[in-house]
Structure 1
Amino acid sequence: MDGLDVLADETALLLASVESLDIEDLAHPSNLPDWTRGHVLAHIAGNAEGLGRRARSMSDAVPRSMYESLESRSGDIAWRSRRTVAQHAQALASTQADFAYDLAGIPADRAGDDMEIRLGLMVRIGDLPLLRLQEICVHHADLGVSTYDWSNWPPALVAWMLPRITASFAAREGFPVGWVEVEGARISVGPDPTTGVSGGATEVVAWLVGRAPGSGLAVTGVDAVPVPPAWL
């Protein structure tokens, strides 16, 4: 499956960031509304558990939801946000190892099949490592630590995210510009072909998902880089 080596590297970087924190750092607000860094870390670990459940269902055909319910998901994040640094690190490492184990059980001939993750979110089975990589890298940046932000996202992840995100926005209404342009390639995201945003792939993706203001991007037909709608 694609992305396994990069996933291992980015997991190690996340664990290094976690181990550099202390208990006061965990209670510090993250870059996400109403979440501390502890909430973000609890969510990352819970995501590995949820993706692992879906991966197991692809192996044994036993139906499993990613989360029992949105209410239980939120409750688990709040409860587990109070872990210590060591507990967060252990949870991240163990859930990632379990996810890798569950992933390895999927038959190779199913890699090209599509699967539903939750709430209509579809992904190719062979792209599950990249979906997990997205979770780790985006939320690593959300921690707001000095050693990691969106500019550190690996090129393999950015290349995978860009067409998925732009296709998602193009399928909706109300995107504030008509296109984004990366390395000379123009991608439609809205109805107005006279307006657009262009720049480097990583910054464009970070802007699209609300992790960068787009200060390094160029605009056409509008006065300033707009704020995109919510990604998910």
Structure 2
Amino acid sequence: MIDHAHDLDAVREATDRLLSATAELDAAALTAPSRLPGWSRGHVLAHLSRNADALVNVLQGRPMYADGETRDRDIERDAPRPPAEQRADLSGSAARFDSAAAAPADWSRTVTLRNGVTDSASRLPFRRLVEVELHHVDLGIGYELEDLPEEFVAREIEFLAERFDGHPDVVATRLADDRGPVRTTGGGAEGGPVTVRGTAPELLGWLSGRRDGAALKVEGGPLPALPPL
């Protein structure tokens, strides 16, 4: 069962870690490449700020983004800002999200996200947590998948396994890590079943497109190719 209040606490903690980690980044560090292709660290921080505001829109019944072009343009606009502006926006947008999430609401209602995706409002805090935690890793400033909270890693593996379940391009796959239960995913493509074993951070890295899976052990066939998120 999703506990949105618990997840909001986790978002606050993750945001505090991110703000502390980025406090000393200078302009050169922010213009340096992140681990995301084509994005500087400034792009990542700009995206996180605009994502917080976009989730406020969702919580308050507005479209998440005006359109895809506006989303991309806003990130490009905000990416080259000076460090002080980046940090102020990151902190301010996080506070706006926290305030909107603290307002009395029906957390069981269905909300609409980007590209017409729908979900329970109760899942929004965890979705924000995913953004903050994984993009903190994407900055490449010393926070790695192995540093992520164990609970978060287990839940994100579960979330991604659910996302790929039945996908037409993914063979039937069993996921076995060193922390949690065996999970199944894929199954829409011919072939398999394949079992993929590894540590929870390595499995998460592969499922989220942040590692190539070279550290994983595969039984029953080659490592399945996963579609982009």
* 2:207 aligned partner, one-letter code: L
Establish whether residue 24 from structure 1 lines up as the match of residue 19 from structure 2. no
Task: Give the match for residue 99 of structure 1.
Answer: 97
Which of 140, 152, 158 is the equivalent residue of 2:153? 158
Contact (CA 8 Å) 1:2, 1:127: kept in 2 or not? no
Per the TM alignment, residue 181 of structure 1 is displaced from its structure 2 partner at its CA by: 2.3
User: Once the 2 structures are TM-superposed, how far is the Cα of residue 164 of structure 1 from its aligned partner?
Assistant: 2.3
Look up the SS of the partner of 2:183 in the other structure: strand
Tell me, yes or no, if structure 1 residue 202 matches structure 2 residue 201: yes
1:114-172, Cα deviation, whole Å (9 max, x unpaired): 32222132332122211111001111111111x20222222232233223211221232
**Which residue number corresponds to residue 218 of structure 1?**
217
> How many angstroms does 1:2 deviate by?
2.8
Give TM-score, length-normalised by structure 2: 0.88
Q: 1:161 to 1:184 in 2, by over 3 A?
A: closer
Structure 2 Cα separation of the partners of residues 121 and 159 of structure 1: 23
Cα distance in 2 for partners of 1:52, 1:106 equals: 14
Which segments of 5 or more consecutive residues in structure 1 lack a partner in the other structure?
58-63
- TM alignment of 1:52-201, pairs within 5 A: 52-57=56-61, 64-107=62-105, 110-145=106-141, 147-175=142-170, 178-182=173-177, 183-190=180-187, 191=189, 192-201=191-200
Q: CA deviation at 1:104?
A: 1.3
Give, in whole Å, the separation in 2 of the partners of 1:21 and 1:111: 37
Percent identity of equivalent pairs: 31
Partners of 1:227 and 1:151 lie apart in 2 by 23
Q: Report the CA distance between 1:226 and its aligned residue.
A: 4.7
Q: TM-score, normalised by structure 1?
A: 0.87
8 Å Cα contact 1:197-1:217 kept in structure 2: yes
CA distance in 2, matches of 1:207, 1:131: 19
Q: Secondary structure at the match of 1:196?
A: strand
Deviates more, 1:182-191 or 1:166-175: 182-191
